[in-house]
């Protein structure tokens, strides 16, 4: 019996070390990691530049709290702003906290601008924004809300990516619209870039804010630093996390100047958020991701992997129904239960992640090359062949 909360459906695997796109068990079994700890280890395991940044910071200073200036934090904030629409950043420790801060910033912006009644956000069915009380309310999924008392007020869910439905959900109390540019946990459901542009126009027309949850889509995952760049538009507020720390816990809420300004002294805070260790790693992640050609290569590898997945779907139409996603954030909508494909892949020593809508997610580290893609394609083929054999009539 474990002393842990039974909150997770864990596999029996335990890993002793990792290197690049591979994880190794204590007995030396090697697994191809196309899950990246749910889109976190964006630069693979034990990336030398990240290891150096963390260990050299660990020898100098771990934590001082936000009662003092943290130069590494100021530097990372400036670099994130220079690389995005944002002017201000708040650092947190996780994706949920980054979204929570985004929700608070949207409410606070209207409060400071004489419209305190504007506190509600329009959100979307199938979304996932984290596990705090506010973020489960934003996600609106019954299985996440059950047993946790009254749902936090202030979220109006729309069932379809339809601009008229969004407009109908906007009222006098609406502060903004919150959406993931690609619904990750919800099954790698792509939102059209056109829809994001329409949301921007609608938010402007109504004088409300556009909030993006780029916790999963951000930090290079789609082949741009942030997924919304593909749509050629920007939000007012954006939550990021996961890849930002490459495996070190960190989250951030990025905003425009007017929104960030509303978060005055004492209005929000975090003891650990933005501590020197997290900031050293975050800066090291940016060194790699912002280097010439890195993101273009992610996009190229994404296309290559997607082509291989499309061929696999043609080969196994009884197992794979659809290939979804962008860059190295790809999903296989399954015809068999997704857990079956995930297990068949695990038997081939390849790790993936389940998602809603019967999807298996492929979230490899962004440093993969052709060799890892070929290896993944071979393992996918073997897993599908094994499943086809099981389900074939005798």
Name the site residues for ligand PLP (rule: CB under 6 A).
38, 94-96, 99, 128-130, 180, 184-185, 213, 215-216, 241
* Shortest distance, position 394 Cβ to ligand PLP, whole Å: 41
* Shortest distance, position 216 Cβ to ligand PLP, whole Å: 4
Q: Which is nearer to ligand PLP, 85 or 128 (CB)?
A: 128
* Shortest distance, position 139 Cβ to ligand PLP, whole Å: 8
Q: Which is nearer to ligand PLP, 224 or 313 (CB)?
A: 224
Q: Which is nearer to ligand PLP, 184 or 246 (CB)?
A: 184
DSSP H/E element including 31: strand 30-33
Contact predicate 295/225, CB 8 Å: yes
Residue facing ligand PLP at closest CB distance? 95
Neighbours of 131 (CB within 10 A): 14
Q: Which is nearer to ligand PLP, 70 or 244 (CB)?
A: 244
* Shortest distance, position 231 Cβ to ligand PLP, whole Å: 17
* Shortest distance, position 165 Cβ to ligand PLP, whole Å: 21
* Shortest distance, position 226 Cβ to ligand PLP, whole Å: 13
Q: Which is nearer to ligand PLP, 44 or 186 (CB)?
A: 186
Q: How far apart are the first and last CA of the chain?
A: 41
Q: Which is nearer to ligand PLP, 178 or 383 (CB)?
A: 178
Contact predicate 366/21, CB 8 Å: no
Give every CB contact of residue 293 below 8 A, 6+ residues apart in sequence. Answer: none
Q: Where are the alpha helices (DSSP H) in the chain?
A: 36-39, 48-60, 71-82, 95-112, 133-139, 142-145, 163-169, 193-206, 257-262, 276-289, 294-315, 338-347, 370-391
């Amino acid at each position: 019996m474990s002393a842990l909360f039974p909150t997770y459906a864990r596999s029996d695997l335990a890993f002793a070390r990792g290197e690049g796109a591979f994880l190794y068990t204590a007995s030396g079994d090697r697994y191809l990691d196309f899950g990246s700890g749910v889109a976190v280890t964006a630069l693979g395991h034990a990336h030398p530049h990240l290891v150096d940044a963390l260990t050299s910071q660990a020898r100098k200073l771990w934590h001082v709290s936000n009662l003092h200036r943290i130069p590494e934090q100021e530097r990372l904030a400036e670099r994130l702003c220079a690389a995005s629409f944002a002017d201000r950043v708040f650092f947190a420790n996780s994706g949920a906290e980054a979204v929570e801060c985004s929700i608070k910033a949207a409410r606070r912006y209207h409060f400071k601008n004489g419209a305190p009644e504007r506190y509600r956000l329009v959100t979307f069915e199938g979304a996932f924004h984290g596990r705090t009380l506010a973020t489960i309310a934003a996600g609106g999924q019954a299985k996440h809300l059950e047993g946790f008392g009254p749902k936090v007020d202030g979220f109006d869910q729309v069932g379809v990516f339809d601009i008229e439905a969004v407009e109908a959900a906007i009222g006098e109390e609406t502060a903004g619209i919150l959406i993931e540019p690609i619904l990750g946990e919800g099954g790698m459901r792509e939102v059209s870039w056109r829809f994001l542009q329409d949301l921007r126009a609608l938010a402007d027309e109504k004088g409300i804010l556009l909030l993006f949850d780029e916790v999963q889509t951000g930090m290079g995952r789609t082949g741009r630093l942030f997924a919304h760049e593909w749509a050629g538009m920007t939000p007012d507020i954006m939550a990021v996390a996961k890849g930002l720390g490459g495996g070190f816990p960190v989250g951030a809420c990025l905003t425009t100047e007017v929104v960030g300004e509303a978060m005055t002294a004492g209005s929000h805070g975090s003891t650990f958020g933005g501590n020197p260790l997290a900031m050293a790693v975050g800066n090291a992640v940016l060194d790699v991701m912002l280097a010439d050609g890195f993101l273009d290569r992610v996009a190229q590898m994404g296309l290559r992997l997607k082509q291989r997945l499309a061929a696999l779907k043609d080969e196994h139409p009884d197992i794979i129904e659809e290939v979804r996603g962008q860059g190295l954030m790809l999903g296989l909508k399954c015809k068999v239960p997704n857990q079956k494909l995930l297990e068949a892949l695990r038997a081939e020593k390849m790790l993936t992640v389940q998602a809603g809508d019967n999807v298996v997610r492929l979230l490899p580290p962004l440093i993969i090359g052709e060799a890892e893609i070929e290896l993944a394609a071979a393992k996918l083929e073997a897993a599908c062949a094994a499943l086809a054999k099981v389900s074939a009539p005798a």
